[in-house]
Structure 1
Amino acid sequence: ACGDMNQRGGGNFAKAVAEMAGAENATGCDVRGFCAAPTHALITAASLVKAGTYENIVVVAGGATAKLGMNGKDHVKKGLPILEDVLGTFAVLVSKNDGVSPVIRTDLIGKHTVGTGSSPQAVISALVSAPLDKAGLKVTDIDKYSVEMQNPDITKPAGAGDVPEGNYKMIAAIGVKRGELERTQIMEFIENHGMKGWAPTQGHIPSGVPYCGFAIEDLTNGDLNRIMVVGKGSLFLGRMTNLFDGVSFIVERNTGLVEEKASISEDEINRMIANAMREFAKNILSTEE
C-alpha cells in the first residue's frame, strides 16, 4: 500500500502503473492478499474476462526494498554477504480465449476457507485436493505444480530451509494418502512434478506466479497438458487476524475450441427483413380494405 501517515493503506498502484505505461483508457484496482495476492489477482482477472466484463487485464506487481532488508539481516547476522540484491517483478496478460493460449480453469479453484485451519498439511490439502476431486483427477495428473518458488540458496542460510521442496513433499504425501502414490515414489514425484526454487524471496513474488511464463511455453510448444499454480499467504502477514490464506488454480493446454456467441448470417438477416416487410405490407393492405 502507499500513502501518508494518515492514509497508510491508500494508493492505487494499478492506476499509477497504467498511467506510467501510457494506458490512458485503462482502469485499475489493487488486489491485496499478501503472499497469495498474485493467485487471487489472476483468478479475479480470468473471471472478469470470462464474464465479458473486460477483454484484456494485466496483473502486475513488484517486490519491495523493505523485504530485501528483512532478508539481508538474516544473512548479515551469520557473517554472510547479502545474497539477494534484486527487486523481483512480474506481469501476466489475461485475455479472452484465442484457441491457442493456455486456459485458466475458473471452475477448478482451490481455496483455503476460514474453517480449514492453519497447519501446513491442512492448507495444502485444501488447495490441492479440492480442485483435483472436482475434476476427477489424480495428484499425478498435474504435470507441474508451481508453489512458493523461493530460491533455497537464499532461504537456507536464513534458516527457512528449502521451501519448494517442503511443499512438494506435502503434495506427494497427499498422493500417498489418496492411494495414488506409493511412499517409495515420493522423491520420484518431486523430481517429475516439482521444480527447483529460483525466484526472489520477496513475499508475493515467488508465490506460484514465477512459473507462468514458462508454463505458457510448456503448454503450447512443450509437452505438458496441465499445471497447477498454488499461492499461499503465511500467518506472519496475517498476525492481526490470525487467519491463514491461500488459493490455487489449474491451467490447461488449449483444446482449440473457442466459445463464440451465436451469430446470424447476412443472408438470414436479409430474409428476416424481407419477411418483416411482407408482413407490414399485408397489414397495410388489410387495414385499407
Structure 2
Amino acid sequence: MSEMKVNKALTIAGSDSGGGAGIQADLKTFQELGVYGMTAITAITAQNTLGVQGVYPVPVEGIEKQLHSIGTDVTPDAVKLGMLFSSEIIKIVAENIKSFSWNNIVLDPVMIAKGGASLLQQEAVLALQEHLLPLATVITPNVPEAEVLTGMKIHTIEDSKEAAKMLHDLGAKFVVMKGGHAAYQGNEVIDLLFDGNVFIEYRSKRIASIQTHGSGCTFAAAVTAGLAKGYEIADAVREAKNFISIAIEDELNIGSGHGPTNHFAYGRRNIHA
C-alpha cells in the first residue's frame, strides 16, 4: 500500500473565541480544502460577532517555542501569517521563517477587526514592512490595510493597481488586492493578482450580507491551502475566491452582529454539484 502524501499548512495567528476568524477560521478552511493544519498562536482574543472585548498577546518566548516545535519536526508546505500584533512578534516570526527556510508564505496583514478594534500596534506596521514583506510569497490586503501599508488613498481600480505595485516594490513576490471593501466597484467585487508585470482580475457579484466575520482570514487561508497542495498562485487565488464567495453566500446567521462565514459551504456545494 503506497504512502499517502499529506499536504501541510501552518497558520501563525491569533485565536478568535467566537470561532469565525483567526486560527479557528484557518483550521476550518485547511480541513475543508484537504490540508493538514498546524498552529502557532500569537494572541488570545475575547471576541464574538459584536466585536473584540479583549486582546491578550502570547509571550514572545511562547510563540518562539511553538515555531521551534513545528520547525524541528513537521515542515509545512505553506505558511499563513495572520494577526501578529506587535513588532517583537513580527521579528521572531520572520527569524523563524528564515531559520527553517519555510516557503509559500501568505501574509494577511490583519490590522482592524470587523467591529473596529485594532489588532496591530501602530509601530508594528514598519516592522511588517521591513521584516515580513520581503519574505512574502503573496500579501492579501483589503483596501484599508493597503492604504496603511502604502500611505496612499484608494478610490479607483487604478489606485488599487498603484498600491499593488508599491507593495510589490516593498518585497512581496505577488500581491492580491482584495475588492470587498472597495465600494467604488459597485455590484461587483474585483480582486487583483499582481506578479510584478501583469494583473489578473477575479470577478464575482457583490453579496449584500453582514455575515462576513473572518472573510479575510478565510480567503488567505484558502490561498495557503492551495499553495500547500502545489497549486500555482493564480489557481490558488481562484480557488480561494470561489471558497470565500460561497462561504459568504450560504449564510449561517450566527450571532447578533457580523456573523461568521460558512466554512462548510464550499465542500457541501461541490458534493451536491
TM-score, normalised by the number of residues in structure 2:
0.31
- Ranked by relative contact order (alpha carbons within 8 Å, sequence separation 6 or more), the top structure is 1
Whichever structure has more strand as a proportion of its residues is: 2
TM-score, normalised by the number of residues in structure 1:
0.30
